[in-house]
């Protein structure tokens, strides 16, 4: 299975995650989800593969999630999915799917556990050095 990253190039965490994947020798399938969008089926599948409820994939910062009332406990999965499909920015990122599993890679070094040959060291955009442990 190849590695797929659901990526937002404007996000530093997403850029760092993509760079870590590439530093491992993998050339992932890059899905720029702000352009490609989401389907309800894909969102349900990713949520299931990650093992978290859909509400855990909501990004609050820089999105209309609060304005749409998505942060309330009583919001249904269907309402969350509808908002995510109509406003892709609401989905937190990056999400990476690989043979070893699917994860929301926040922080970006979460991706290292999904890679067959993670880099021995990696320097993030901000200068932080990451060593797989």
Q: What is the CATH number of the domain that holds 119?
A: 3.40.30.10
Query: Does 21 reside within a domain?
Result: yes
86 within a domain of the structure (yes/no): no
Residue 97: pLDDT band with limits 50, 70, 90 = very high
Q: What is the mean pLDDT of the chain?
A: 96
Q: Is residue 75 part of a domain?
A: no
Q: How does residue 47 score in pLDDT terms, banded at 50, 70 and 90?
A: very high
Q: Would residue 66 count as lying in a domain?
A: no
Structural domain containing residue 22: 4-54+92-130
Q: Is residue 76 situated within a structural domain? A: no
User: Number of folded domains in the chain?
Assistant: 1
Q: Which of these is catalytic: 11, 30, 84, 91?
A: 11
Does residue 117 lie within any of the structural domains? yes
Is 105 a catalytic site residue?
no
pLDDT at 40 exceeding the cut of 80 = yes
Q: Quick one: pLDDT at residue 133?
A: 73
Question: Which pairs with CB-CB distance under 8 Å and at least 24 residues apart come from 108-115?
Answer: 108/13, 108/14, 108/16, 108/17, 108/20, 109/20, 111/17, 111/20, 111/21, 112/20, 114/3, 115/3, 115/20, 115/21, 115/24, 115/26
Q: Report the C-alpha gap between 79 and 128 in whole angstroms.
A: 38
């Amino acid at each position: 299975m190849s590695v797929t990253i659901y990526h937002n190039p404007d996000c530093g965490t997403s850029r760092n995650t993509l760079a870590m994947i590439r530093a491992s020798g993998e050339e992932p399938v890059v899905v720029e989800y702000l352009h490609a969008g989401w389907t309800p089926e894909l969102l349900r599948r990713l949520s299931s593969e990650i093992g978290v409820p859909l509400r855990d994939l909501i990004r609050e910062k820089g999105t209309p999630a609060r304005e749409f009332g998505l942060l309330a406990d009583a919001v249904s999965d269907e309402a969350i999915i509808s908002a995510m499909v109509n406003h892709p920015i609401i989905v937190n990122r990056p999400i990476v799917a690989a043979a070893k599993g699917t994860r929301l890679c926040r922080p970006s070094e979460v991706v290292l556990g999904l890679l067959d040959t993670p880099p021995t060291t990696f320097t993030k955009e901000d200068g932080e050095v990451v060593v797989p442990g």
